[in-house]
Amino acid sequence: MAEIQAISTTLVQARSHNNSDVVPRMDLTPWDLQLLEVETIQKGLLFHNPESQDTYIQHLKDSLSSTLDFFVPLAGRLAISEHDDDILDSIYVPRVVHSLFPLNGVKNIEGTSKPLLAVQVTELEDGIFIGCSINHSVVDGRSFWHFFNSWAEISRGLGRISKLPALERWFLEGIEQPIRFLFTKENQNSDGLIQPLAPPPERVFHFTKGKISQLKSKANAEVNYTNKISSLQALLTHVWRSAIRNQRLDPKEDVSFFVIIGARPRILNPPLPESYFGNAVHIGKMTKKVGEFLEEGLGNTALEMNKMISLHTEEKIKDFLKSWIKKPEFLRVSGVRSDNRLVTSSSPRFDIYGNDFGWGKPVAVRSGSANKARGKLTVYPGVEEGSIDIELCLRFEVLEALANDPDFMNFASI
């Protein structure tokens, strides 16, 4: 199996790293802290070769340095405050893609000694790949692409970025900072953690704007609505139902779907800035019996997903944050390594194909090995406007069954 070997490594600092005005410390919120046990966000873009191949590496270093002036947290490290307690264009995605990213296998808690941001540029036979890994306790997916978009802007010659990040962390009123909790070596090696296994097979399915529109219309019509169920809710429900149908599970078995819900538009008092740079997401969950789930149709499940998301109000999110501080719980990849659940990540709303570094837009997006387990579902915008790509991590036989399922492939392409 081919592997990519890094031939050089450079530490890139913010251009103004000696400036005393740079924020020296930033405390992490419960949204951030719960991610310490999982791995970094890894996304990268494939481009055609730039015209100036002799200078683009240095240009990327220089523009990255300038971009870090705006995203200063990424140029730092995680710090632990000591208290009385210890605190702590293949059918399947080729494995070689994982070698295109730095910080493989690094958990976010290791940000005390590892970089919070690492970039690897790989020269391929007919293009280049820019792989970016960012500590997930510092940013969520929206903030990840905010940084990437801004770097591309500076790389192609803009003097300043179009949207400044809001760097101040958001905390519930009256919460002591930094948040104190017990995190020992035993926590890191607890029985709840499954030892690393080989990443599952990955396959990308493409859904055109027209096919997504058909799914939306079908879902709404089944429950006598015109536009209540969104395009994304209809699509995710279609993928979930298809994945469960092709696993031939016991009709009495429970199956679950976890969806990422953005908190930025839901936190209004005080308001959370749209450009908030950090983690601001909540996880919603649906659980159903296999038999009932497959019998009720696309529309009913999609409507249930719509209602579940609507229930995640500002009050519900704040209640979660209050509860987390009283009893901290950490997300673990072991929680998604299952045949009877799907867990979403990323969003089709992120600006991925607008990342022009000065030699054209990317031709594809791929993710690294971080947090890959059976049941992982990653959502990307497609190259064509309005289209969506779904990256699925499931058992090989399930992915093969999906590709041969006419009900699923009537809306998808490879």
User: Among all residues, which ones are annotated catalytic?
Assistant: 136, 356
Cα–Cα distance for residue pair 118/123, rounded to 1 Å? 17
Cα–Cα distance for residue pair 256/234, rounded to 1 Å? 16
Long-range contacts of 300-304 (CB under 8 A, 24+ apart): 300/222, 300/223, 301/237, 301/240, 301/241, 302/219, 302/223, 302/229, 302/233, 302/234, 302/237, 303/219, 303/223, 303/225, 303/228, 303/229
Cα–Cα distance for residue pair 38/334, rounded to 1 Å? 10
Q: Show the tokens assigned to 84.
A: 């009385």
Identify the residue whose tokens are 């990519």: 4
Q: What is the dihedral of CA 41, 90, 1, 43, to 10 degrees?
A: -10
Q: Tell me which residue of 328, 310, 267 sits closest to 32, measured CA to CA.
A: 328
Identify the residue whose tokens are 């605190």: 87
Residues contacting residue 95 through CB under 8 Å, at least 6 positions apart: 1, 199
Q: Show the tokens assigned to 70.
A: 């705006």
Angle at 308 between CA 391 and CA 239, to 5 degrees: 25
SS3 376: strand
Q: Show the tokens assigned to 253.
A: 């078995």
